Amino acid sequence: MPHLHSATSNCVHYLDVKLSVRSRSILKVMRGIAPRLLYRMAHLTPEKMLYIQHKVRKFRIPYTPGISINERKMGTVPGHSFGKFSPEKTLVFWLHGGAFMLPAAPDIHHRTVARLCKSLDACGFMPDYRLAPEFSFPAGLDDCMEAYFSVITQGFNPKNILLIGDSAGGNLMFGLMQRLRNKGMEQPSCAVAISPVAELARATNTPSLYLKRYKDPLLPLAAMPQLAELYFRGKDGFNPELSPLYMDCSGLPPLFFLTSSNEILMDDIVTLAERCEGAGVNTLCQVWPELPHDFPIFSRLFPEALTALEDIAHFATQHLQTN
């Protein structure tokens, strides 16, 4: 196991926020349903998982006033673009979550990207990267890299790109930034990691994995090894493209992490944020109380998610180059 160096952190902020009555009620329902569903998903046959992926891709794309959402390819990678797709505009390049197995959920991911693009007067692109179990690592990351490179070749300035990844997409986001750095390519202006999956080697045994296993409203601890194995298929889990917790954190753009005090991944996320800060990266990490893993994408359920999206937009405007 690699030895982790974590500096004394000034970047981590534990927010004192009183949750709404609505949010508390939804959390009770979610805690009784969501972890069981994800546990079952981790044990589906490949044929059943392919069927579910196909069904999710057929879901209706929501209408967002003022922001069009269209199918678009970046290189050979399919996906969806948001708004007027022009290199003259800020670009939100979003890598969606879904346990490396589910496509972007239109009523959650597409709606969230559209909302953020509208608030930033930006366009966006979300690649529909290849998914497990049919395609294991590094297929999905390769697609994200190809799509990002295609965006750059079309004239988008990295200084005008906001890179975002949620959950599994946060893992891919750090893999993408490592590849950009290793190839000597310019990083995006800034990046937002929403509950990123930071460690797949299952070697850390951090307190939150066990102390929060009955409190996490979304993630079932018992399913995590199976989900990880479906993605990396016996490859070295300490590979920093699989487990960014073990990566060289230097040379990254300004980073904004968001996590919840009740998610089992919290300690890994906080440690990664501290390591980034220790490597000289401009880093901010917010730990919200009690909310579920990946909560900012659930703005239709939790009013607090809207505040988190406003914080993301504020962070972005501090770092994006204005035209």
Q: Given the residues 80, 96, 110, 293, select the one marked as catalytic.
A: 293
DSSP notation for 92-104: EEEE--STTTS--
Distances (CA, A) of 113 to 63, 69, 105, 126, 259: 12, 10, 11, 8, 18
Beta bridge partners of 287: 14, 259
The domains located in the chain, with CATH, are 12-319 (3.40.50.1820)
Q: Which two tokens stand for residue 75?
A: 């290189």
- Residue 322 has a pLDDT of 52
Entry pTM: 0.95
Distance CA 221, CA 206 (A): 12
Active site residue 110: no
Mean pLDDT over each residue of the chain, to the nearest integer:
93
Given a cut of 80, whether residue 34 has pLDDT beyond it is yes
**263 is known as an active-site residue:** yes
pLDDT reported for residue 6: 44
Find the helix packing angle between 21-42 and 303-319, rounded to 10°: 80
Interval 240-291: pLDDT, tens: 999 999 999 999 999 999 999 999 999 999 999 999 999 999 999 999 999 9
Catalytic residue among 199, 229, 241, 263: 263
Per cent of the chain over pLDDT 90 is: 87
Q: Which two tokens stand for residue 169?
A: 């997409």
CB 270 within 8 A of CB 199: no
Residue 214: band (very low, low, confident or very high) from pLDDT cuts 50, 70, 90: confident
Please report, rounded to a whole number, the percentage of residues in the chain having pLDDT higher than 70.
96
Segment 118-141 mean pLDDT:
97
Catalytic residue, candidates 81, 136, 167, 189: 167
What is the pLDDT averaged over residues 160-182?
Answer: 98
Query: What would the mean pLDDT of 99-106 be, rounded to a whole number?
Result: 96
| Range 160-188 burial, b when 16+ CB lie within 10 A, else e | bbbbbbbbbbbbbbbbbbbbbbeeeeebb
Mean pLDDT calculated for residue range 115-129 = 97
Q: Which of 311, 298, 253, 296 is nearest to 120 (CA)?
A: 311
Secondary structure, 3-state, 272-300: HHHHHHHCCCCEEEEEECCCCCCHHHCCC
| 255: nearest Cα among 230, 228, 274, 232 | 274
Q: Decide if pLDDT at 7 tops 90.
A: no
Task: Output DSSP code: residue 67.
Answer: B
Lowest average pLDDT, out of 43-47, 188-192, 206-210, goes to 206-210
